[in-house]
Structure 1
């Protein structure tokens, strides 16, 4: 792989998973009531959780790869590149899914707040912690 910092990607991934656990544990009951089936909280299946984790990891690797290909941009520019990628690619899809699932505005804001925290973690760590060496030559 190009000059992708695998340690940075894995650190961001682990931080996002930890934040996700805290976020899910502190979710208001009104948000979790939508997943209640016959009085029992419906837990997500293992395949759904693994699919989510794989998609997050793939998105982080794509972002790190994109940052490795961009030349001549400062750390601040790379920060805004990561935020812009989220604003124009991920955010519209998230809002579409929220509208499709019938989330009200408070549920949508709660979900988007989690997304904003995740993108802040990625936008701070990935652009600033660049790969120290690569076995590939430019």
Structure 2
């Protein structure tokens, strides 16, 4: 499993770093971003799951790499963001005032869902109990 939190910031920093330190004969794109794209392409076949928290920036990841995400989870997004990230699912659903409401977009359909709201300590306790078979 590969987890990228604040991925848009991470990719922006990788791009900036590479532009600063790359040599004349080096590839234009950062090898780290190329490796991420390779993981995205091989992910399903190699059973690699990528959790990507952030904007899927068209100028950093290749369009074919962006299309490798099988499931998109969107919460509190406007029509523009919805159409960019989940156009196949139709227009953006009406937003909910309830905390933790999100939409899971899979196979061309949007499914409303409720996210678990936990503190870090609560999540750690829940994971420990689950791993111990107590929950």
Query: Under a length normalisation based on structure 2, what TM-score does the superposition of the two structures give?
Result: 0.26
Q: Point out which structure has higher relative CO (alpha carbons under 8 A, 6+ apart).
A: 1
Query: Under a length normalisation based on structure 1, what TM-score does the superposition of the two structures give?
Result: 0.26
Structure with the higher fraction of residues in helix conformation: 1
Structure with the higher fraction of residues in strand conformation: 2
